[in-house]
Amino acid sequence: MNAQITITIKLFGALRQFSEDHAVIISVPVNSHLNTLKKALVNSLLGSPTSTSNTALFESSVFANDSEILTLETILSKNQTLTLLPPVCGG
């Protein structure tokens, strides 16, 4: 039996449209890479992605914890809360 961890993902900016609570809870196996979580999140929110603009929004967004931006190779080993930050433009 594969042990699971629960990750709460806070959504900001343009990503908020995908959840009324502006957060999503996803379970993944212990020691999954962040990339596995990202794929599970996209699948959960978009199903089979048909809109390339929505898919591109998620692909260009980055995960962060309380102190740093995370890479997709980051190992997830415990229950935690992460933030998904969309790309921003401005001047």
pTM for this prediction: 0.88
Domains and CATH numbers, the chain: 4-85 (3.10.20.30)
Query: What pLDDT does 2 receive?
Result: 80
DSSP-derived 3-state class of residue 12: coil
C-beta separation of 83 from 9 below 8 A: yes
| pLDDT tens by residue, 36-70 | 999 999 988 887 555 667 888 888 999 999 999 99
The pLDDT of residue 40 is 93
Report the C-alpha gap between 50 and 73 in whole angstroms: 26
